[in-house]
Amino acid sequence: MQFIDLAAQQARIRGSLDARIKAVLDHGHYIMGPEVAELEARLCAFTGARHCIACASGTDALLMPLLAWGIGAGDAVFVPPFTFFATVEEPALLGATPIFVDVDPVTFNMRPDLLEAAIEAVRARDDSRFPLPGAARERQLRPAAVIPVDLFGQAADYEALLPIARRYGLSVLEDAAQSFGGSRHGKKTCALGCHAAATSFFPAKPLGCYGDGGAVFTDDDGLAALLRSIRVHGKGGDKYDNVRLGINGRLDT
């Protein structure tokens, strides 16, 4: 038996799949068509998050909130070392310095006590009690954001992580690429109280699509508006009015 049997899954939904794909071919809106807005509404209803911004991949779903927050050179972004590469790649791509905060040996998720130790070490530029990368020793970095990962379907310990992030003014981006559909104390992942959450619809993920896809979730109206702009090259009033730097993060219908 396969761990992930996409063919068996497809066989169960093949009829409705064929009908929906035919509908897309008929209406011709191949990118960001009406089905994308329908998906966003259903994902909001499912998770309990106020806003869902669907995008081209889980990687873009991590990148877009970091862009919205202006994360870049001089910023420290706290990440677990045991995750998929994108969790670390996106802050590094923006010029920020990823600081590895080790995971709990039982849950494999970020250890809150070590997050606090890492923040203190960055603030004090003191690696005597916590190992810092060279960039965090050579210059004063600003502790800017933390990306806890919900590994193997299990949410990280947000009851402990969020108060620490709040105390030090960090933005919190939940990496829920492996936990969509999971819950913690009755609340669904992607709606666990972080500033934003990112998930992936890569075919092998808990909620897979037929291609690449992802989504950002947030309860913050202002952030949601920024993310919708960043998703389409920083669009303003229309798509040829570009008011900020963004990406091509659109989701195919």
Ligand X SMILES: *Cc1c(COP(=O)(O)O)cnc(C)c1O
Task: Based on the shown chain and the rule CB under 6 A, indicate whether residue 200 belongs to the binding site for ligand X.
Answer: yes
CB of 214 to ligand X, least distance (A): 5
CA 128 to chain centre: 32
Region from 31-39, 173-181, 184-192, 233-241 binding ligand X, contact rule CB under 6 A? 173-181
Task: Based on the shown chain and the rule CB under 6 A, indicate whether residue 177 belongs to the binding site for ligand X.
Answer: yes
Q: Is residue 55 helix, strand or coil?
A: strand
Beta carbon nearer to ligand X, 202 or 217: 202
Task: Based on the shown chain and the rule CB under 6 A, indicate whether residue 90 belongs to the binding site for ligand X.
Answer: no
CB of 80 to ligand X, least distance (A): 9
CB of 157 to ligand X, least distance (A): 16
Query: How many residues are there in the chain?
Result: 253
Tokens of 93: 């791509």
Task: Based on the shown chain and the rule CB under 6 A, indicate whether residue 175 belongs to the binding site for ligand X.
Answer: yes
Each as own residue / partner, the long-range contacts of residues 94-99 (CB below 8 Å, 24 or more positions apart, any chain) are 94/63, 94/66, 94/67, 96/66, 96/71, 96/72, 96/144, 96/145, 97/133, 97/135, 97/136, 97/141, 98/133, 99/132, 99/133, 99/136
Task: Based on the shown chain and the rule CB under 6 A, indicate whether residue 39 belongs to the binding site for ligand X.
Answer: no
Task: Based on the shown chain and the rule CB under 6 A, indicate whether residue 83 belongs to the binding site for ligand X.
Answer: yes
Task: Based on the shown chain and the rule CB under 6 A, indicate whether residue 189 belongs to the binding site for ligand X.
Answer: no
The binding site for ligand X (CB under 6 A) comprises 57-59, 83-84, 86-87, 149, 175, 177-178, 200, 202, 212, 214
